[in-house]
Amino acid sequence: MFVTSLVFTSVLLSTANLIAHKLKYPGRMMLGLCLIFLFLGGSGFLAAVFPPVGWLALFLPVSLLIWKSTRRGPRLFLGLSLVATVVAFAIPSVSGYRAEQGFARLRARYPFESMEGRSPLVKASAREHSLSRASLDRLERQDQVSERWNRRGEVFRRLHEDSVGLFVRNFGFGVGRMIPLIPSESNLKIAGLSILQPGPRITRTGSPGEWGQPIASLMGEYDQLHDDSIIEFLEPRSFGYVKDRNHVAGFTPHQFLGLPDRSEWLKLQTLDLVGLLLHEEPRVYVSENLPRMDELRAAPTRPLDPFESVALASLQRGEDLWIVSDSGNIRMLGAIRSTKQCVVCHGGERGDLLGAFSYTLAVKDEPPVPATEQ
């Protein structure tokens, strides 16, 4: 792009000097050409895409007018046009220099970090190769999310891996002053929220045998809720730019970025993380907030209750969700499995069980009547 800028610059420069040389009586024609230059300079395209060329297209007609008023030879114009070129490149360079200093600060603030020794590795016992259809479907949906373009990751990539490109773009020498992709504090920061558990805890635990069957007509809603929770907790943009396990920039500990509450029928009461990696035995983190790893590392934990123990055993065998229901109260355990993205930090293989969400839910209103066959 820098080359394109230079090409444009030389075309403009030589045209302007040709005019100065060839036209003895520049009159109307010159005015016309001046207007064309002005149009080019003013046209947002040139100015936005090649800022120095935009400036030059503005300065050259002005220089032509100045030169004409002096009634001196074309050499003077050559001098004037060169000065105009220097100024046209100097203007974006000043702002570019300031931006470079900003990038250096951002690089120091969000350096490459190694996840070695920090991200807990998956345990061999988490491997289960016969995943249920529902688990495979959910993994596929998770894959689709992780394959979505991750703008924050891309901005970190540019900050660390493409400093030459950033320099060139930002000095305005080429296309790509695509503002959202220029690293800045605002497009790199992730607001760390503490979201309170939305409802009271269901105190009755009991073994699954003491609960009834889940309300079948709500199956789609349970599924959706668990999808939403995984996405909110493990939003790919919160990982930052993950080049490999030893080079991660901008990683924000897993945390809920929003409350998963889209369901028309289900009210989320509490959602706890069942950790399978950081502790010897599976533990449930206890917090007044929806799980956020920076807080949970120091939070109290409890062992699994009878419902969770039975449900977890089923997830470990490859199941996806385990749900029981009793007079409008629902308990659900949902598997958090590894996608390819997670493997970079947590090791193991796609599909391994890394954790689970333990939900307590209430039915908001009358559940929908299941469609009956006529």
Q: Are 201 and 224 in contact (CB under 8 A)?
A: no
Of the listed pieces 192-200, 251-259, 262-270, 315-323, which binds ligand HEC according to CB under 6 A?
251-259
Q: What amino acid occupies position 153?
A: G
Q: Which residues of 163-175 are buried (b: 16+ CB within 10 A; e: fewer)?
A: eeebbbbbbbbbe
112/157 Cα distance (integer angstroms): 10
Does the footprint of ligand HEC cover residue 355 (CB under 6 A)?
yes
The 10 Å Cβ neighbour count of residue 125 is: 10
Of the listed pieces 89-97, 98-106, 159-167, 269-277, which binds ligand HEC according to CB under 6 A?
269-277
Shortest spacing between CB 146 and ligand HEC, in angstroms = 7
Measured in whole angstroms, how far is the alpha carbon of residue 42 from the centre of its chain?
35
Does the footprint of ligand HEC cover residue 262 (CB under 6 A)?
no
User: For residue 37, what are its two tokens?
Assistant: 């230059």
Of the listed pieces 92-100, 216-224, 270-278, 366-374, which binds ligand HEC according to CB under 6 A?
270-278
Q: How many CA atoms lie within 13 A of 334 on its CB side?
A: 23
Does the footprint of ligand HEC cover residue 335 (CB under 6 A)?
no
Of the listed pieces 28-36, 43-51, 103-111, 342-350, which binds ligand HEC according to CB under 6 A?
342-350
Does the footprint of ligand HEC cover residue 23 (CB under 6 A)?
no
Shortest spacing between CB 308 and ligand HEC, in angstroms = 14
Does the footprint of ligand HEC cover residue 277 (CB under 6 A)?
yes
User: For residue 148, what are its two tokens?
Assistant: 């979505």
Q: Are 162 and 169 in contact (CB under 8 A)?
A: no
160/157 Cα distance (integer angstroms): 5
Q: How many CA atoms lie within 13 A of 251 on its CB side?
A: 22
Residues in binding contact with ligand HEC, number by CB under 6 A? 26
Does the footprint of ligand HEC cover residue 115 (CB under 6 A)?
yes
Shortest spacing between CB 250 and ligand HEC, in angstroms = 9
202, with CB counted inside 10 A (0-12, 13-18, 19+), is middle
| Residue closest to 64 by CA, chosen among 31, 36, 22 | 31
Options 26, 74, 120, 328; binder of ligand HEC; rule CB under 6 A:
120
Shortest spacing between CB 197 and ligand HEC, in angstroms = 18
Options 354, 358, 360, 363; binder of ligand HEC; rule CB under 6 A:
354
Does the footprint of ligand HEC cover residue 248 (CB under 6 A)?
yes
- Is the CB of 93 or the CB of 132 nearer to ligand HEC? 132
**Which residues make up the interface to ligand HEC (CB under 6 A)?**
115, 118-120, 234, 239, 242, 248, 251, 253-254, 275-278, 293, 336, 338-339, 341-342, 344-346, 354-355
